Amino acid sequence: MSSTIEKVVTVQNPMGIHMRPADLLSRAAGRFQCQIEIEKDGQAIDCKSIMSILTLGARQGSQLSLRACGVDAQEAIDALSELFNQGFDESDSEVASPGRP
């Protein structure tokens, strides 16, 4: 019997969860067999669906619950939480206004 693994993560990247981070999350989640959900403000979505991830409207500072249930749940939570910890490899310089060096 598989247990459910849960971890709370914080969106750290300046632009929040937009198309690129949503794509990274859904692709990473797709590598695992377990069922993975992300919950924000009581709304739980399938982490393997890029469109569902975008519906969360998760901005910088948002706290999300990652939940996984299945044979590789711990590995999935570790991999996904690492994406959040790294800010999806985005930096403040990427959100600088156009024309600025």
Quote the mean pLDDT of the chain: 91
72 pLDDT band, cuts 50/70/90, is very high
Report d(CA 101, CA 81) in Å as an integer. 31
Tell me if residue 18 is catalytic.
yes
Examine residue 77 and state whether it is found in any structural domain, yes or no.
Answer: yes
Query: Is pLDDT above 60 for 41?
Result: yes
70 found inside a domain:
yes
Buried b (16+ CB within 10 A) or exposed e, 62-98: bebebbbebebbebbbebbeebbeebbebeeeeeeee
Residue 96 has pLDDT above 90, yes or no: no
- Looking at the structure of the chain, the number of domains it has is 1
Q: Look up the CATH number of the domain holding residue 83.
A: 3.30.1340.10
Range of the domain at 83: 4-89
Instruction: Check 6, 7, 14, 18 and give the catalytic one.
Output: 18
